[in-house]
Amino acid sequence: MGVETTLFDLTGRVALLTGASKGMGLYMAEGLAEHGARVVVSSRKLDQCEAAVAQINEKCGEERAIPIACNIGYKEQLEALVGETRSRLGPIDILVANAGVNPFYGPMSQIPDSAFDKIMASNVRSNHWLCQMVAPDMVKKGRGSMMITASTGAFNASEMLGTYAISKLADIALARNLALEYGPSGVRVNAICPGLIKTDFARALWDNPEAKANAETNTPLRRLGEPEDLKGVVVFLASDASTFMTGQALTVCGGTNMWS
């Protein structure tokens, strides 16, 4: 029998997650709830948030999670999300900015301005807004953990996902700069860079025989990622297990990007 440890204990902490009603975000929320956090599950559609919350609470055996709908593209909706989180659960200890968009596949020479603007606004500016909104809670406590979901796409040029990749590299830069600014207050900020994960969001990239064969041949772990593979890294970054880690881009990719 092992020794009891509180290293990953999140009891009493409040976690806010965007893009959390399905895929990676859902498992991230579930992992935090399983370790004691009270969790806000947010995405654009309330019914999907409610379904995710029901799944989490059933697994945890109590009401650990609550749903709040929010479209991250609108500053006033983000402000309402943060305000409702505070009023219902209290000051925010953990932020996972996981929501993102990619409305365009193709070369950058063909991307419409509207798609470029949407990618940069949703994937970068909205994360900047949200981090600044929750920061005062963490600064006041002298501790806190923010996470921004980037991508291994940030490390490579792409003929099909160029603007998305730019936005994700910007997210890493955002995490680094916030880590520098808020480090003296005890607040940590890190980026999480998933590789190819079997989510609906990335379906176009993996739901074909060629992509599957490529992953099983060229990925050291010989498989595609599953959404639940993101659970552990979020719990680690949220908890006291990672108290001396900030400004990092942690890659969860089965070994495709070993050092960039």
Number of domains into which the chain is organized: 1
Flag whether 97 is in a domain.
Answer: yes
In a domain, 205, yes or no: no
As a whole number of angstroms, the distance between CA 56 and CA 54 comes to: 6
* 155 within a domain of the structure (yes/no): yes
What's the pLDDT at 194?
96
Is 129 inside any structural domain?
yes
* Residue 83 within any structural domain of the chain: yes
Nearest to residue 78, comparing CAs of 64, 93, 103, 99?
99
> Which residue type, as a one-letter code, is found at position 71?
N
- Choosing from 27, 74, 105, 164, the catalytic residue is 164
Q: Quote the domain boundaries for residue 171.
A: 14-196+227-252
Q: For each of the chain's 260 residues, which pLDDT tens digit applies?
A: 678 889 999 999 999 999 999 999 999 999 999 999 999 999 999 999 999 999 999 999 899 999 999 999 999 999 999 999 999 999 999 999 999 999 999 999 999 999 999 999 999 999 999 999 999 999 999 999 999 999 999 999 999 999 999 999 999 999 999 999 999 999 999 999 999 887 776 666 666 888 778 888 889 999 889 999 999 999 999 999 999 999 999 999 999 999 75
Helices (H), 96-251: 113-120, 126-141, 162-182, 203-206, 209-218, 231-238
Let me know if 74 is a catalytic residue: no
CATH code at position 34: 3.40.50.720
Return the pLDDT at 70.
Answer: 98
In a domain, 82, yes or no: yes
